[in-house]
Structure 1
């Protein structure tokens, strides 16, 4: 699929296999954009074809140029902060970065600085891009690895849907205490809040569905390096599930791990997902940046 940016316009050349598709079908069926966002695009007349406004039910031909006013200049919603940023992938619609441990993904109150989102805002500023910093998912402060941010509302809406549909695949490396009796397994235990501790979560029959798959990679003395894949993305999911089966993460003192590291040994090592607008598969690996050696 041929796409390009021209000023504030996203331009897409209608491919051969989209013959007779309409603007409405592209938004509703191809991209499955939210109704409210589609309505605003219609009201604000944000879409042209070959430079002209066409009815949204007009059949388009291969080679027609769909032009959407996606890249409007918008004030940053977080304060830009200087700092080193490890970019894994970036285009006009999204950015994937490798978050170091010790950073929050985004501010927890207005005006807060020093989070990953602040660093991204500064990166956008230096690149001359004026757009909001919109995270698609989060990592705990002391978990490192790949995180995805959207650059405009349409990209965010589609990526949010892909996350809900479990099409954003995240693979983690976790160093846990003890040795497993089996090489792989699945933990399907609901997770809810711990009423006795504000920041903790716990396995609870009244909690949200949570599914964690794990595979043993390497045994290291009294610890095991595991590969973990999530079907769901609950707060502290890996930490809670591993602790629940008797294998808390090394360094995770909140859930019973021993303080052998300054943080829990958890790293989001790989991420893959279809591009929100082109459908092209994006796959990236994130190197562990600190002194916790998780690679096998």
Structure 2
């Protein structure tokens, strides 16, 4: 699907897949636009065909130009702050950034700074883009790797739904203590708050459903450390850290969940790959996120 940014409008060249569909079909079935945003589109006449306002029941033909008022100027919502942000993927609709170690994804209070969201706001500002900074998911402060941001409200709404439906796949790489007995497995254990510790989570029968898939790619016998790749089916706080600790293999450097090994001064966890369908074009987006220098160096030593 070809899309073009034309000022505040997005122009989509209708492909054969959309031939015969109506505007109503596109917004409700293809994009599943939330009711509030649908209402805004109707009231503000935010959708045109070939430069004309048309009824939403009118059909599209291959080659038509479907125009949507997507790129509306907004406040960033966070203070732009210069950072050397590492962009992994970017187009008019979304942004994937490699979050460094020791940085929160977004501020915990209004006016907060020194977070990834502040750096993204600066990046947008430097490129003349005035859009609210919308993170689709988060990473722990000391976890590195890919974080997805939406660049307008429609992309945000679609990707929020994709995440909820578990259709944004996130793969992580971790170093854990010990030799993991199973080559691969699924950890299906609910996670809740630890009433004895304000920031900890724990496996709890009354917690929220949490599912983690893993497979072991290497074991370093000298240091008694395993290299594990993991995929989240749910996105609970500290999910991988809690699950791996619960089955007896805490992450290297993760003191909060019982990690003893001091090979790294943080938990050895990195979001290495993100796979999803593009929120507007539905084309497959698959990105690999480079390892940070500390984890890269440690892996080199282990090998």
Instruction: Sort the TM-score into its range (normalised by shorter chain).
Output: over 0.9
The question of 1:51 aligning with 2:51 is answered yes
Aligned 1:1-296 pairs, distance under 5 A: 1-221=1-221, 222-258=224-260, 260=262, 261-293=264-296
Q: How far apart, in 1, do the equivalents of 2:41 and 2:176 lie? A: 49
Q: How far apart, in 1, do the equivalents of 2:167 and 2:110 lie? A: 31
Structure 2: 5+ residue stretches without partners: none
Structure 1: 5+ residue stretches without partners: none
> Contact 1:23/1:57 (CA < 8 Å) preserved in 2?
yes
Q: How far apart, in 1, do the equivalents of 2:295 and 2:89 lie? A: 24
> Contact 2:177/2:261 (CA < 8 Å) preserved in 1?
no
Structure 1 segments (4+ residues) deviating >6 Å: none
Q: How far apart, in 2, do the equivalents of 1:65 and 1:180 lie? A: 54
Measure how far apart 1:259 and its partner are: 5.2
Secondary structure at the aligned position of 1:292 is classed as: helix
Q: How far apart, in 2, do the equivalents of 1:86 and 1:259 lie? A: 29
Deviations 1:103-159 (A, max 9, x none): 100011000011000000000011010001100000000000001000111000000
Deviations 1:222-247 (A, max 9, x none): 11110111111100000000000010
Q: How far apart, in 1, do the equivalents of 2:57 and 2:284 lie? A: 29
Q: How far apart, in 1, do the equivalents of 2:182 and 2:3 lie? A: 48
Deviations 1:152-182 (A, max 9, x none): 1100000011111111111101100011122
Q: How far apart, in 1, do the equivalents of 2:141 and 2:293 lie? A: 14
Q: How far apart, in 2, do the equivalents of 1:279 and 1:157 lie? A: 14
Secondary structure at the aligned position of 1:87 is classed as: strand
After TM superposition, the score normalised by the length of structure 2 is 0.96
> Contact 1:100/1:144 (CA < 8 Å) preserved in 2?
yes
Q: How far apart, in 1, do the equivalents of 2:34 and 2:272 lie? A: 31
Measure how far apart 1:57 and its partner are: 0.6
After TM superposition, the score normalised by the length of structure 1 is 0.98
Deviations 1:42-83 (A, max 9, x none): 011111111111011111211111111111111111000111
> Contact 1:100/1:290 (CA < 8 Å) preserved in 2?
no
Q: How far apart, in 1, do the equivalents of 2:64 and 2:182 lie? A: 56
Secondary structure at the aligned position of 2:24 is classed as: helix
> Contact 1:97/1:148 (CA < 8 Å) preserved in 2?
yes
